[in-house]
Amino acid sequence: MTAIVFDVDGTLLRSDCPYRGIVADAIETVRGDAPEAWLDAYEEAFFESFFAFEPDPVERAFGQIDDCADPEPYAAALLEAEIEALSPPDGVHDDLERLAAETDVDLGVLTNGVRDWQLGKLRAADLAEYFDAVVASYEVGAHKPATEPYRALEERLPADRYVMVGDSDDDVDGAAQAGWTPYRYDGGGFGDLPAAVEVDR
């Protein structure tokens, strides 16, 4: 059995808009404008919270902005802005349907982020149903390329072999360190995956 495991942001879901622009759209939705000072403050506070695994890093980051009285609507607006901006590549539903039907293949997701947030994006794109296991880095207290998220996925989705499909160095390097087969995703669909990773059919 081979487990083919996908990253979320940049792989299963992509956007042509820079992430700072998505944050700006969310802030503007709530307060009517998106000051540069807010964007700078959010970015700094978010990554500090995210890499420290503090709870609710998005809401916490907005709460660190000096004149943000209520961070909750900004966090909700950002999730909606991400959902609006992100979309799966063309043909991905058909590709995942075919992969899920392979007798010797199980599908999983391994993503850096908060589980509920990442699952919300997958569900909004009608992708969650294809996967037998989902692991988010916040669940295990380590982000890719650390090996802990990979081991957590192995526990939830036993297989003889694991393939990591992702667009970043963290995906590829982490997979190699974990003893998985890395597959760097560079756009398009996933229809060629069985042949590319030599899955027996």
- Rank 100-104, 121-125, 191-195 by mean pLDDT and report only the highest: 121-125
Looking at the fold, whether 133 and 163 belong to one and the same domain comes out as: yes
- The structure's pTM equals 0.93
Domain check: are 130 and 91 in the same one? yes
β strands within the chain, DSSP E:
2-6, 105-111, 133-136, 161-166, 181-184
d(Cα 185, Cα 28) in Å, to the nearest integer?
33
Count of structural domains within the chain: 2
Q: Specify whether 77 is located in the same domain as 114.
A: no
**Each residue of 63-82: pLDDT tens digit?**
999 999 999 999 999 999 99
Q: Is pLDDT of 162 > 60? A: yes
Confidence of residue 128 (pLDDT cuts 50, 70, 90): very high
Query: Does a structural domain hold residue 201?
Result: no
Identify which of 138, 197, 139 has the alpha carbon closest to the alpha carbon of residue 165. Answer: 197
Residue ending a domain, among 42, 58, 85, is 85
User: Which among 69, 85, 101 is the end of a domain?
Assistant: 85
Q: In terms of domains, do 47 and 140 share one? A: no
Residue 166's domain spans which residues?
2-14+87-196
Tell me the per-residue pLDDT of 78-115, one tens digit each, with 9 for 90 and over. Answer: 999 999 999 999 999 999 998 888 778 999 999 999 99
Asked if residue 53 is part of any domain, the answer here is: yes
Instruction: Assess whether 169 and 92 both reside in one domain.
Output: yes
